[in-house]
Chain A
Amino acid sequence: MALLELDDLAVTYTTTGGPVPAVRGVTLTLERGQTLGLAGESGCGKSTIAASVLRLLPRSASITGRILFEGQDVMAMDWGHVRALRWAGASIVFQGAMHSLNPVKRVGTQIAEPILLHDPKEREGAPGFTGGERRQRRRAADMRVAGLLDQVGLTAASAERYPHELSGGQRQRVMIAMALACAPHLIVADEPTTALDVMIQAQVLNLIADLVAEHGIGMLMISHDLSILTSACEQLAVMYAGRIVERGRARQVFTDARHPYSEALTWAFPVIGDREARMRPRGLPGDPPDPAELPSGCPFHPRCKVAEPRCSETDVKLWPAGEGRQAACVRVRDHPAEPAAATSSDDSGEVVA
């Protein structure tokens, strides 16, 4: 049984301006101990997927397709099961650690909160605790908090600190400690290192990698930075306009992208020492499409520099593109086995940024 299974998931937000399809049919599977990176620009639907896994979407979102967490349909769960799923089954590390922590509570109290809430006694609806029991629970939770802080490389004394007394990297570690508090099987990390320094980012990524390896946790990491996802995840899925447009082993996708969009994302972060990138920053012209008004055919065709006339008519689904990988592009459909997308070699001199 897979840890997480999304089956043709589609999420549409109802807004005053009409329906906005944010996710348009995403199918993916994640096993325990696996790491999957989800890449794409803002607005491509990657964070909507993260929220849907824990049923955190607003009421205005209508969902079709299925989300299975350890075989259970998340959408069909009753409230008690959803509560059990959050923190204990799966937890989220959000990007802005400053905004995700309560500024007026000590971090230890905040980490202990899910632990106390998920205490089995509490869940059984014990009517109340005696003073001794309560003290015992507190002490046990404090021990657990100290253990968690140690796991993420903070001292036990940090539990007494308020968020503003910690640096950005330390706050992000607190977030990770919270995410681990109830020993979940899945961690969803939404841009966990954005706004962190190179060195702190390396520390946090190392920490996440160790935890995944040690506890056999599954991880879904979301970012717009392909180089980070490639170093942190085995598998990579690139999203555009609510769909996965390329999927495969992370390193393969990063070094030899088959979809023109993934390729454009790989240029965005230069490899230091790569002479091609020196004094030639490359971006992707244009803006991501408005989900409410998607272009006809392949939604990427207006920005694609290898677009052909047929691209504005044909909408391509994910297609096998070599061993263990798929891409959604007409060129891949025509030449599934072609080793490298010959998109960059012929016109590298003509840089459009």
Chain B
Amino acid sequence: MSIAAADTAAPQPAPHPGGPVLSARDVVVEFAGRGRSAARARAVDGVNLDIERGEIVALVGESGCGKTTLARTLMGLERPAQGEVRFRGEPLSYRMRALRRYRRAVQLVLQDPMGSLNPHHTVYDAVAEGVRIHRLPDEERRVADALSRCGLRPPHRFFQRYPHELSGGQRQRVVIAGALVLDPVVLVADEPVASLDASVRGEILSLVLQLREDLGLSSIMVTHDLGLAWNIADRLAVMYLGRIVELGTPEQVFAAPQHPYTRALLSVLPESEREPIVLTGEPPDPTRIPSGCRFHPRCQELASGAAAKAGVAGACTGTPLAVLPASASEGHAAPQVACHLAAASSARTPSAGNP
């Protein structure tokens, strides 16, 4: 049960003439606070993001940084308080009927396949559920197609199996087949491999690449696994406290991370050769977003005085940063970063944007 990986694939997707498939424009998502204070939590606080056809975008960050909320908003599961989500250029409509149509095109895959599959349903029923909900013809053919696309071949042998009879990797393939059966355009995957064994991880990631190759499927991978981004993502968005703080191709971002937060994240990877910068504390509270740069209370550059030396320490604590524009992935645009220090140093050396 193996599928040939897209090893010969040219990784760059053809830019879609009609613009991005899915985009977020200045999206803000708020949740009502709990308790007496009832401060509203801004889980997503101004995000611009474009996803092109066939593009794989990784959304990385700590738990609580808003990456899952952003993914849910892109799915139409949360309604932005400000800004909008656009699908093929059209603002998303939140009427029941329109949403139902939309959710056929944009499908969700969750982390734990055992949790997303009903243990009493056979593989066939699990995959056919979407077909039944959307009352599509040719149920059996669609299910068989989806299963075999996901490497469960021959599909008929899996129809009557139950989730507990499958291995972890096979279960996740069934979940992905359940998403594919509706011929989606975008796959939103929330930690698709975090609960899988090391050996299975690569296979599921190859499957995502394969689906991009065969169907032109775009994907948003919500993850805290930077290795995943390096493995399969065309673009990488680093989120911190509701904002994208750095955006670029994995080559750009990993070779020359510009945001101090990205640098810290990279430095603590087990294989990193950089001096580890272990940030203390937990990600801060989205009900109380710090003034100025939202990362400044934990920023190692501000703490070490590097920001003061560059003359931006005041800005770091006092001047809010602009929301990053959604970078169109034309050619190799310079990576985007929301940091006063990075802005100051690239202003001094104009070529620093692309070392």
Residue of A nearest to B254 (CB): A272
- List residues of A (167-207) whose CB comes within 8 Å of B's CBs: 167-170, 195, 197-203, 206
Chain B CB within 10 Å — which of A270, A283, A286 has the most? Answer: A283
Are B268 and A268 in contact, with the CB atoms below 8 A?
A: no
Per-residue CB contact flags for chain B residues 235-271 toward chain A (1 = under 8 Å, else 0) read: 0000000000000001100110000000011101111
Interface of B with A (CB < 8 Å)? 1-7, 9, 11, 62-64, 167-170, 194-195, 197-207, 209, 224-227, 230-232, 250-251, 254-255, 264-266, 268-272, 276, 278-280, 282
- Within the complex, the shortest CB–CB distance from A262 to chain B, in Å, comes to 11
Per-residue CB contact flags for chain A residues 216-235 toward chain B (1 = under 8 Å, else 0) read: 00000000111110111000
B11 contacts across to A, CB distance below 8 A = 278-279
- Within the complex, the shortest CB–CB distance from A89 to chain B, in Å, comes to 30
Known: A273-B254, A279-B9, A281-B5. A353 touches B197 (CB 8 A): no
Known: A41-B199, A197-B63. A202 touches B227 (CB 8 A): no
B169 contacts across to A, CB distance below 8 A = 287
Known: A197-B224, A198-B224, A198-B226. A41 touches B202 (CB 8 A): no
- Within the complex, the shortest CB–CB distance from B254 to chain A, in Å, comes to 5
Judged by a CB distance under 8 angstroms, whether A77 is at the interface is no
Are A197 and B62 in contact, with the CB atoms below 8 A?
A: yes
Once bound together, how far apart are the Cα atoms of A5 and B316, in whole Å? 55
Are B209 and A279 in contact, with the CB atoms below 8 A?
A: yes
A206 contacts across to B, CB distance below 8 A = 278
Of all A-B residue pairs in the complex, the 8 with the closest CB atoms, nearest first, are A283-B202, A353-B206, A202-B268, A281-B205, A283-B203, A285-B2, A231-B270, A284-B199
B7 contacts across to A, CB distance below 8 A = 280, 349-351
Choose among B195, B197, B204 the residue that contacts A41 (Cβ–Cβ < 8 A). Answer: B197
Are B4 and A268 in contact, with the CB atoms below 8 A?
A: no
A74 contacts across to B, CB distance below 8 A = none
Residue of A nearest to B3 (CB): A353
Residue of A nearest to B56 (CB): A279
Interface size for A (C-beta < 8 A) is: 50
Are A198 and B231 in contact, with the CB atoms below 8 A?
A: no
Subset of 27 A-B contacts with CB under 8 Å: A41-B198, A170-B282, A195-B195, A199-B264, A199-B278, A200-B282, A202-B276, A203-B280, A227-B269, A231-B270, A267-B202, A272-B269, A273-B230, A274-B230, A277-B231, A279-B9, A279-B11, A280-B7, A281-B201, A283-B199, A283-B204, A283-B206, A284-B199, A288-B167, A352-B5, A353-B5, A353-B203
Q: Is the interface of A mostly helix, strand, loop or mixed?
A: loop
Are A279 and B231 in contact, with the CB atoms below 8 A?
A: yes
Residue of B nearest to A280 (CB): B7
Choose among A169, A271, A352 the residue that contacts B282 (Cβ–Cβ < 8 A). Answer: A169
- Within the complex, the shortest CB–CB distance from B78 to chain A, in Å, comes to 22
Interface of A with B (CB < 8 Å)? 41-42, 167-170, 195, 197-203, 206, 224-228, 230-232, 264-265, 267-274, 277-288, 349-353
A268 contacts across to B, CB distance below 8 A = 198-199, 201-202
Choose among B197, B232, B265 the residue that contacts A199 (Cβ–Cβ < 8 A). Answer: B265
- Within the complex, the shortest CB–CB distance from A237 to chain B, in Å, comes to 15
Are A283 and B201 in contact, with the CB atoms below 8 A?
A: yes
Are B271 and A272 in contact, with the CB atoms below 8 A?
A: yes
Once bound together, how far apart are the Cα atoms of A232 and B203, in whole Å? 26
Residue of A nearest to B200 (CB): A283
Once bound together, how far apart are the Cα atoms of A253 and B178, in whole Å? 39
- Within the complex, the shortest CB–CB distance from A260 to chain B, in Å, comes to 12
Are A270 and B230 in contact, with the CB atoms below 8 A?
A: yes
Are B268 and A281 in contact, with the CB atoms below 8 A?
A: no
